[in-house]
């Protein structure tokens, strides 16, 4: 397996969160080059690199940047999404603690390209200690004069999963309740207090300095044609060495699990993998044996790559119990704005609870699928459709376990 370190290159360096160590290892080198290029030229480079958003959806970053107005009477903003609340996902916290200056460098390049003077980093409520490290790096960057022309403000959320959804995040940043907004018919920027705003994930922005330094082709040299570059996969569950490891898109899942994860814990057999965070569905061991880690391969299986938060489960895992665990989370975290989500997440949680407690009947399995169907495509954001897809993925692959539990 080809080793690659685009966002993780300073992770092993001691004290790389400090400005002096980060600079000794090349931090902020791209800023000299930055002003030799026009903002639109930078957007073109990002488009050519094929960089895709790493917050779960995989949207092309360059096309999103190009939606931001180059001429505007209103100020433009950049917002970095560090909500990181998807179960199984813990990669952004590696960046903000191990190489916060890489993120700040990426923010400066992004702000220059979309003509923004102020960036916010929205951090999940539970990340207080990680926020302190990032704040320390921001403070050092201000003292060194790296920040000032562009401001960076950290904003801590209050611990709601839905506030990772970009429009709910912006509502929350505006001081309101974190409810997702209606989607526009045509692609347009996001809006923060009515001002054009770009929202990107931490890792997306942390990938930008490499592209600026080495060029679009160097980024494209990794990964596949449609999923270029790398992803910081976070691996948890029944492997010998859980952790966060950067790999290029397109590597085989089993190679990844064996190479970085050190294989299955205690020599047990693999049973199932959630490939990219709780909302991406589940696959069987046989499917995991044949799949490549890129957006297209996962989509062709009716699953998604999400954030690459891989949860590996061994032969002793009860799939009914895993689904119950996930549904409890969704029930707790539904923001309640849309009825199919608010009510549906409660219903599916109760139904799977009944099956798990061996109080269920085959009608409950049918009812579960019926409620999942009702939750799909009828809500403002994709929270409920994702829950629906998770249920379908479990039942289409492990139905026998649900029936055995009746
Ligand atoms: C329920 C829900 C939770 C989300 N949580 C996060 C999150 O924690 N971090 C993140 O970057 N994106 C999250 N997203 C995706 C964001 O809405 C958005 O697509 C992303 O921040 C855009 O950045 P990117 O294009 O760089 O991926 C979430 C989406 C949904 C529907």
Q: What percent of the chain has pLDDT over 90?
A: 99
pLDDT band at 95 (very low <50, low <70, confident <90, very high): very high
CA gyration radius, the chain: 21
- How many whole angstroms separate alpha carbon 17 and alpha carbon 368? 47
Two tokens at 196?
């054009």
Our mutation pick for probing the ligand 1 site, out of 57, 78, 122, counting the most ligand atoms within 8 A of Cβ, is 57
Q: Residue 344 and residue 124: Cα distance in Å, rounded?
A: 26
CB of 333 sitting under 6 A from ligand 1: no
Q: What is the pLDDT of residue 165?
A: 98
* DSSP H or E segment with residue 368: helix 362-375
Residue 184, pLDDT > 90, answer: yes
Residue 1: its pLDDT value, please?
A: 86
- Which helix (H) or strand (E) segment holds residue 62: the answer is helix 61-66
For residue 78, report the distance from its CA to the centre of ligand 1, in Å.
Answer: 14
For 255-307, write each residue's pLDDT tens digit.
999 999 999 999 999 999 999 999 999 999 999 999 999 999 999 999 999 99
For the chain, give the percent of residues with pLDDT over 70: 100
Mean pLDDT confidence for 73-82: 98
For range 361-368, the mean pLDDT: 97
Q: What is the pLDDT of residue 314?
A: 98
- Residue burial 363-377, b: 16+ Cβ < 10 Å; e: rest: ebbebbbebbebbbe
Does ligand 1 lie within 6 Å of residue 53's CB atom?
yes
- Distance (angstroms) between ligand 1 centre and the Cα of 360 equals 35
pLDDT class for 326, splitting at 50, 70, 90? very high
CA of 383 to the centre of ligand 1 (A): 11
Rounded distance between C-alpha atoms, residue 190 and residue 206, angstroms: 20
**β 151-156/116-123 pair status:** parallel
* Strand-strand pairing, 116-123 and 76-82: parallel
pLDDT averaged over the chain? 97
Is the distance from the beta carbon of residue 58 to the nearest atom of ligand 1 less than 6 Å?
Answer: no
Diameter of the chain by CA atoms?
A: 68
Average pLDDT over residues 96-118: 98
Name the residue of 201, 207, 331 to mutate for ligand 1: max ligand atoms within 8 A of Cβ: 201
Instruction: List beta partners, residue 190.
Output: 197
Alpha carbons 208 and 157: distance in angstroms, whole number = 25
Instruction: Tell me the β-bridge partners of 78.
Output: 119, 198
pLDDT score of 214 more than 90: yes
Pick the residue whose CA is nearest to atom 22 on ligand 1.
200
| Mean pLDDT for the stretch of residues 41-61 | 98
Q: Measured from the CB, is residue 97 less than 6 Å from ligand 1?
A: no
Identify the residue whose tokens are 């839905």: 162
Residue 81 Cβ contacting ligand 1 at under 6 Å: yes
Query: Could you give all domains of the chain from N- to C-terminal order, each with its CATH number?
Result: 19-50+61-220 (3.40.50.11540), 230-314 (3.10.20.600), 319-404 (1.20.1440.230)
Over residues 106-122, the mean pLDDT reads 98
Q: Which two tokens stand for residue 302?
A: 């009716």
Give the torsion sign (CA, 99, 70, 188, 194). Answer: positive
């Amino acid at each position: 397996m080809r080793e690659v370190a685009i966002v993780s290159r300073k992770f092993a360096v001691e004290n790389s969160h400090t400005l002096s160590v980060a600079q000794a290892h090349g931090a902020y080198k791209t800023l000299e080059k930055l002003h030799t290029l026009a903002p639109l030229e930078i957007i073109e480079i990002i488009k050519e690199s094929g960089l895709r958003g790493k917050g779960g959806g995989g949207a092309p970053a360059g096309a999103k940047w190009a939606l931001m107005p180059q001429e505007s009477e209103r100020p433009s903003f950049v917002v970095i999404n560090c909500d990181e609340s998807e179960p199984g996902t813990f990669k952004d916290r590696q960046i903000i603690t191990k190489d916060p200056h890489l993120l700040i460098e990426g923010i400066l390049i992004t702000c220059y390209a979309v003509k923004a003077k102020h960036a916010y980093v929205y951090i999940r409520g539970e990340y207080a200690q990680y926020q302190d490290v990032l704040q320390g790096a921001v403070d050092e960057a201000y003292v060194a004069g790296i920040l000032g022309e562009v401001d960076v403000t950290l904003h801590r959320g209050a611990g709601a999963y839905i506030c990772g959804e970009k429009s709910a995040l912006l509502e929350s940043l505006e001081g309101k309740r974190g409810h997702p907004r209606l989607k526009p018919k045509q692609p347009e920027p996001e809006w923060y207090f009515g001002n054009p705003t770009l929202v990107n994930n931490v890792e997306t922005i942390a990938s930008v300095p490499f592209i600026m330094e080495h060029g679009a082709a160097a980024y494209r040299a990794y990964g596949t044609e449609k999923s270029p570059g790398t992803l910081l996969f976070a691996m948890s569950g029944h492997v010998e060495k859980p952790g966060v490891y950067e790999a290029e898109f397109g590597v085989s899942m089993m190679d990844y699990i064996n190479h970085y994860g050190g294989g299955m814990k205690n020599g047990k057999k693999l049973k199932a993998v959630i490939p990219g965070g709780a909302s991406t569905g589940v696959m069987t061991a046989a499917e995991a044996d044949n799949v490549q880690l890129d957006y297209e391969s996962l989509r062709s299986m009716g699953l998604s790559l999400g954030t690459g938060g891989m949860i590996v489960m061994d032969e002793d895992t009860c799939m009914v119990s895993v689904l119950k665990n996930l549904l409890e989370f969704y029930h707790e975290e539904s923001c309640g704005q849309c009825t199919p989500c608010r009510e549906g997440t409660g219903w599916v949680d109760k139904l799977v609870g009944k099956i798990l407690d061996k109080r269920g009947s085959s009608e409950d399995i049918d009812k579960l699928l019926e409620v999942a169907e009702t939750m799909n495509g009828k809500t403002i954001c994709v929270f409920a459709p994702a829950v629906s897809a998770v249920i379908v993925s479990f039942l289409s692959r492990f139905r026998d376990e649900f029936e055995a539990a009746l």
